[in-house]
Every structure is written in structure tokens, then in C-alpha cells.
Structure 1
């Protein structure tokens, strides 16, 4: 891997959703014959050059305005005499029909590849599944919390915000258990009284009891019933303690999640992504090139833009990794300026020789869909490098250590 090698960043499409290892197929990725080499998207108003290459009309027009030569083989071209409409390819693309990704939810629409993104954004079935919505109780219900919620996120927020309230419930429950135990120890129940009435030990002077034992069967039955009662109490106390332990564990998990969310929100656009179990994840991606890895979403500021990083096998060259960033939806998107404008830096850390760390920087492009306000949880289009690093270099030259790959991303608004 040459850290000084210049690479060209571009916009790339990714499937809907965000998971650790996405199983979704790139349903709207064009075949190579229908892909514009400039924007890497479906050809729009396709044209063909005299040197035999196809481009979107707007892409090649903008390119020739700045350079004057073909972006593929550097042959000089003129818009007036070397560019011709490719109606045959345009007709082939328009004849293709693709099913909506929400067909499983009932959408029956089939649209052309060029119209698929617009249909997804407006599809009536692009809604969260609320068919199974039901009230979820708080994890501290057993000790007195009566709040209920419609989603796990609401429960997590409740656990984070009402920590003092839940601790009060736990203290009250503990005090109640202790008082009950003291009362039980201070009072002799009817079974104990019955057993004691059946037999009394001799006093210190050796005098015999006033009423000698005559009914052995009654004594044994009374002792047996007393043992059963004590065992039942022990089981009840074990259950109470187990529930308290479970609730304390849930509280600890909520605290860890809160700390993790705080780090992502207050990292100021500087995020270190540690990809653990890397060999296992890589094997899964090599087996199916449409599987990909996503990082957690991190923020440029506490109320700013939110991004995630995507790592996958390059669809154009399976010997390379592709690396892109994707914008994600936040609760503050209406307050932000769109499209996003800023500088994005990648650093794939060499954990053996720091001087061989691969560093790349790119600027956003306001004309790309990748930097517009997200209409879904994660923007379908990312921005980055389709051929970022050779797989063999990453595996052999010190970038993976203890089965962990480290990628640092820095995003600054300008």
C-alpha cells in the first residue's frame, strides 16, 4: 500500500438500513454498461463519444468544460462534433423495471432505475412497522415504577433520565424486605407455637417438664410443616434478590450505553472506529461481496451533522476495500444548513509502523445527493473511495493487529 498514492473520491450508493453486517443487496446499482464513469450512477440522458465511451450528458458537459478531453483515455473531445445522443441505451434503461424495496410491506410499484430513489422517498410503505406496537413496562416495575413505553428507545431514555427515582425505589424495596424479616424473627408463628407446646426442654435444675411428651406423630407433623414454611420463605427471598440483581444489571447496561452515546455525540467529528473480529467479518464479505460493515453514527458537534463509515469489498474490483461516509438523520436536521459543506479525512492506522499509516483527505461536493438532507435513517449515497486499499496490503503490512482494524475519521464543517 502506497500512503502517498493519490486517489479520487466519488459518490457511491449503499443499500437501505444500517447494521453491523448488512445482508441487503445493492438493488439499484447499475451494470457497468449502464453506469456513468464520472458519477458512478445510472446514465441520465446518455451520450456516446467518438472514442466509444458513454456518459451522462450533464457529466461529460461539465467535465469537458474544465478539461477538454475524455476522462477515460484522455482523447481531446468537442461537445459540438464528438458527442452524440445514445438513444438505444436510453431506451434500454427506460424499459427496465425494478421492484420497490418495500414490496414486503405491500408496495406493488415497479419503476425505472432512474425513478427508484424518488419513489423510495415518497413511498407510502416507507414507514416504521407499528403493527406490533404495545406498551412496554419499565424494568423497575417490580419495585414500584409504573411507567410504560411504546419503544425500547423510550425505555432506554427513561432509564437514563430517571436514575435517582429508580434508586429510591430500590432503597424502599430493600428497607421493606429488612422490616419484614425483622418482624418475622420477632414473632413466633402458629406452627412454631404448636411445636413448642408439644415439647419443652428440662430446666436448669433438672426438673422434668410438667406435661411429658405423649404424641410423637403430632410433633413430627408440626416440625415438618415448620420446615416447609421456612423453605418457602427462603425461596421468596431468593426471587426478590434475583429480581433486584437483574434490575441493577439493567441499570449498569443503561449507564454503559449512555456513556457510549455521549462519546459519539461529543467527539467533535473525530471518531476512531475499531473493527474487531476483523477476520471473521472479512470472510463473510469475501463470501458475499454485497455484505458490508457500518460504524456507529457520530456527530460533528452535539447538535450538528451525524455521519457513519461504511467498509466493504469494492464492487468494481474485489481485490480492493471500498471506504465511504454516509450522512444520517438527526433530530436537529431542520436547524442545519444543507447541503453539508466540509472536509473529510480518513486514516487507516498501521499498528506496527505508524509512518505507514494511510491518510487521505477530500472535500464535500454540494452538487451530490450524498451531502443533501437525509430523507431516511441513513442516506443511500455515500462519499469516499471505491478502491481505497488493497486487501492483501491491509492483511499483511501491519494494519490488522490482534484481529482489530483501526480507522480514524475526521469531519470538519467549513
Structure 2
């Protein structure tokens, strides 16, 4: 059939306050402390105003303030290039090594080494009370140990629970047979309680695992909708065709898709042709999205529409190029642009069925690809 491309109409600032400027002296600086003659307490001139500790690789700024070299570099990288104390702009050329202060601190370090090299803090596993002997000076290593060794920790909990139950039980002065029976009964009861507790925990973990799987599936599904390819499975084809015959104004829309993760949002529409009542009309509609403000308008690109046949060699493919003068490619004024671009007479119903475009599940599949040029 001779088809013509059409662009038809369907029937269908917030001010952001800048973060407040940090005031001078936001870094808490201790008052000058008296220094005893034999104690190496850090004086102001030996103390970094950022970490409030002894200066390490001291540097001095053009405004006369001293800091650890690493502390000041991190400050300039993560916050701003101003002096932390008086907000004076600092460039790399305005920061100088303070070798005199470095020598003074080294002399004090040799005289009082314990004041400069405090012992490393040791962190224990939270299950140390039930026989886990893992220790580390790095708290992150302890956290990783907790995550990776949870099975061993559960075994420790079970063993510890059983031992505590056995230790708190005291046998009565009765016959050995009766005592043995009570011990066995107690063991069975304790075991059942543990099994029930573990079963409840397993149910909770399985539920959490299922929730994570659903989240991952949702993210994967979202990702497939952001590659410029929309595969529309128009199910219950014959039933929907009857509905459109009874009400010619009925229109069916596909799900939305994006040309890329930060690109144009679009969907497709199917309805009966206004001229040929046994012919389908097919159009593409741009949709409003959060990406619109940074996109170039009108949309300029190529649209490839493929009607999938049972035999792929008989697929019907149409390639269209956008036209800037057509309103359908301008920024959508509504959630779905009222103007669409496509075919008012796309395909006759009997040809769609006869030529094998409807699969065994009464589904018509149309693939739409939109690429920015």
C-alpha cells in the first residue's frame, strides 16, 4: 500500500539558595596553653589549625598561618582555596615549606617520643565475647570481617548458647535414668528453640534477598528503556481491534523509552485510520521529561520502525528522518506531545494477519529505534 508520512495532532523554577559561606575561624582552635619546661605540649606555633595536632611536614602561608601539608592540600581540594583561618585566597605559590618549625618539632620528638607516637588503637570483632579472636588496627578490616564471616559467627552463637544453657542447668538428686531423660529432653527443647530462631532468621534473609532481586530487576528494566530502542508488544490484537472498531476514537500508547540515559523521552501510538476504518495508524510522540532543559530542540534524528514478522526475512521496516519545522519534534508542552509523527495509514488489518505479523499469542510486535543525528 502507498503510505505517506504525516505529522498529525492526537486527541488526546525554583530558586536555589547558594550554601552559606563558612565564617572565618570555623575550625575550632584551642586557646594558648601554658607549656611546662619538660612537657612537649603542642603550642599554637607547632599545632595544625585543621587537625589540631602536631604539625606534620609543616607549611606556612603568605598570611603567616601554619598547617600540615596534607591537611592544607585536602582543605584546598575538598573545600576551597582560601586560608582556613582568615579566608585569604591561596595559590600554590603562596604556600611555603616551614623547615625551621619542622626542625624544632623533630628536636622535641627525639626528647619525648611517646608524646608523638601514641600506640595504635586495636579494634576487636563484636563477637569477641563468644570466642572470635579477630583484631585489627583498621576498623574497616573489622567491618569486612563481620560481613564475610557471618556463617562462622552464627556457629559461634549456637555453640555459645548451648554451652550457656547446659552450664545453668543443675541436675537434681534423682536416679541416673530419670536424670538422663531430663537432660535429653532439655537438649531437644533447646535444639528446637534454636532451630525455630534460625528458621525465622532465614525467612527474613530470604525476604531481604528477594527485595534486592526485585530492585536489581527494576534497575535492569529501567536501563533497557534508556537505549533508544522500544519493543512494543501489542497484545490481544484482535480484541483491541474490535474495541477500536466499536469506538474509533480509542487510542493505545506504548510504554515510554529514552534515546539514551539523559536523552529524549518518547512513546508510540496505535489507532484506526480516520480514512480507512480497516487500517492502522501509527505515530511517534515525544514526551516531557526532566532532561528537556538541557536538550537541543527541535529533536533532530532518525526513526526506524520495524513490524516484526514470524519469519524475520519478511519484517517490514520504515526509516524516517525528523523535520525541524514540524511541531511534533519541538519540546513537548504536555506530558505527551499532542502532535505525533508517523503514518495515518500504516498497515491494513487483513494484511497484518495474512502476512504473518501476528504471532501465536495474538500479539503484534513493533520495534522503534530513535537515534540522534
Smaller-chain TM-score range?
0.5 to 0.7
Distance 1:177 1:282, change over 3 A: farther
Counterpart position of 1:262? 223
State the shift of 1:327 in Å.
0.9
Counterpart position of 1:243? 204
In the alignment, is the contact (CA less than 8 A) between 1:353 and 1:398 conserved in 2?
no
Q: Which of 156, 160, 164 lines up with 1:187 in the alignment?
A: 164
State the shift of 1:387 in Å.
2.4
Counterpart position of 2:6? 9
Report the secondary structure of 1:366's partner residue. Answer: coil
State the shift of 1:339 in Å.
1.6
Distance 1:408 1:384 in 2: 14
Structure 1 residues 159-201: Cα deviation after superposition (integer angstroms, max 9, x where no partner): xxxxxxxx9997576665444223223333578x35xx25xxx
Counterpart position of 1:358? 316
Counterpart position of 1:55? none
In the alignment, is the contact (CA less than 8 A) between 1:326 and 1:378 conserved in 2?
yes
State the shift of 1:399 in Å.
0.4
Equivalenced residues, count: 241
Distance 1:224 1:186 in 2: 16
Distance 1:229 1:339, change over 3 A: same
Deviation larger for 273-282 or 363-372: 273-282
Distance 1:413 1:170, change over 3 A: same
**Alignment map for 1:6-405 (pairs within 5 Å):** 6-15=3-12, 177-189=154-166, 193=169, 197-198=171-172, 211-212=174-175, 230-265=191-226, 267=227, 269-276=228-235, 278-279=237-238, 282=241, 289-314=248-273, 317-352=276-311, 354-355=313-314, 357-403=315-361, 404-405=363-364
In the alignment, is the contact (CA less than 8 A) between 2:298 and 2:324 conserved in 1?
yes
State the shift of 1:411 in Å.
2.5
Deviation larger for 360-369 or 400-409: 360-369
Distance 2:149 2:287 in 1: 43
State the shift of 1:365 in Å.
3.6
Distance 1:279 1:172 in 2: 58
Distance 1:214 1:280, change over 3 A: same
Distance 1:214 1:239, change over 3 A: closer
Structure 1 residues 33-82: Cα deviation after superposition (integer angstroms, max 9, x where no partner): xxxxxxxxxxxxxxxxxxxxxxxxxxxxxxxxxxxxxxxxxxxxxxxxxx
Counterpart position of 2:70? none
Report the secondary structure of 2:328's partner residue. Answer: helix
Distance 1:387 1:298 in 2: 24
Distance 1:182 1:336 in 2: 62
Distance 2:358 2:216 in 1: 31
Distance 2:319 2:298 in 1: 19
State the shift of 1:398 in Å.
0.4
Report the secondary structure of 1:393's partner residue. Answer: helix
Distance 2:152 2:238 in 1: 51
In the alignment, is the contact (CA less than 8 A) between 1:14 and 1:381 conserved in 2?
no
Scaled by the length of structure 2, what TM-score is found?
0.52
Distance 1:179 1:347 in 2: 61
State the shift of 1:376 in Å.
3.6
Report the secondary structure of 1:242's partner residue. Answer: helix
Distance 1:260 1:364 in 2: 28
Distance 1:253 1:189 in 2: 43
Flag the structure with larger Rg: 2
Distance 1:280 1:316 in 2: 21
Report the secondary structure of 2:218's partner residue. Answer: helix
Distance 2:150 2:243 in 1: 48
